[in-house]
Structure 1
Amino acid sequence: MKFLCASTELADASSRGFEIDGQKLFAVRRAGQVYVYVNRCPHRGVGLEWTPDQFLDPSNSLIQCATHGALFLIENGECVAGPCAGQSLKRIDCREDAQGLWISL
């Protein structure tokens, strides 16, 4: 397991980008649960964020690709709208404890 960040560094209904061992990732916290994905759109292979740490649509209810507007479910990374509909983001297993967030790479 690799340490990602302290729990307080990822507020509810927010997202944050990371680079661990040269791999670009991002985390989203929704309703207290944390989801971590590889920061790579399945359509073009580009990073998803609009600006640093901004991976969510304006309502903070979906992950949105800045390049072509594809929308992904936060809970499982499935693309529900856009050119990669039916494809999914690559999820990274994570856990949270008193020290913070940890991922399995």
Structure 2
Amino acid sequence: MDTLSPATLLCRLDEVPDGGATAIEGVAAVGGESVIVVRRGDELRAWLNICPHAGRRLDYAPGMFLLKDELLICAVHGASFDRNDGACVAGPCRGEHLHALGVELRDGEVWLVLRDRP
């Protein structure tokens, strides 16, 4: 049975552009890694900012992402990820996925919620 671990505040909702993405740096709950938060209205998705192809960040500059239609594109090798589920749909890691993270919107704030497995 999964249990919830303490939530970590990532940012305010208004810090993530509607229809866009941002990076939250140094998130201790995930080993100090960068986290991508993608927003459409009040709907949020989050992943580790690590491309499964070469283990590099997806952003072309800190917190700046290539987004086209429904795709989040890795700036290094062009892998294209579905922004709804993190699946790589084109490029060198086709069929792999970004590492998804649980997020919740609470009173205008974006919270990371991880599950511990006993």
- Would you call these one fold, judging by a TM-score over 0.5? yes
Please give the residue correspondences for 1:45-60 in structure 2 after superposition, counting only pairs within 5 Å. Answer: 45-57=55-67, 59=68
After superposition, the C-alpha distances for 1:46-71 in whole angstroms (9 at most, x for unaligned) are 000011222233x3531110110010
* 2:11 is equivalent to residue 11 of structure 1: no
Residue matched to 2:89: 80
Instruction: Write the letter of the residue equivalent to 2:95.
Output: G
Match among 25, 28, 42 for residue 32 of structure 1: 42
**Larger Rg computed on CA atoms:** 2
Contact in 2 for aligned 1:13/1:60 (Cα 8 Å) = no
82-91 or 30-39, which moves further after superposition?
30-39
The count of residues paired between Structure 1 and Structure 2 equals 104
Instruction: Write the letter of the residue equivalent to 1:18.
Output: I
Please give the residue correspondences for 1:84-95 in structure 2 after superposition, counting only pairs within 5 Å. Answer: 84-95=93-104
How far is 1:15 from its partner? 0.8
- SS at 1:72 equivalent: strand
Instruction: Write the letter of the residue equivalent to 2:51.
Output: C
TM-score by length of 1: 0.91
The structure 1 segments of at least 4 consecutive aligned residues displaced by more than 2 Å after TM superposition are none
Percent identity over paired residues: 35
- Superposed CA RMSD: 1.3
Equivalent-residue separation in structure 1 for 2:33 and 2:63 (angstroms): 15
Segments of structure 2 that go 5 or more residues without pairing to the other structure are: 1-6
Segments of structure 1 that go 5 or more residues without pairing to the other structure are: none
Match among 2, 21, 27 for residue 8 of structure 2: 2
65-74 or 17-26, which moves further after superposition?
17-26
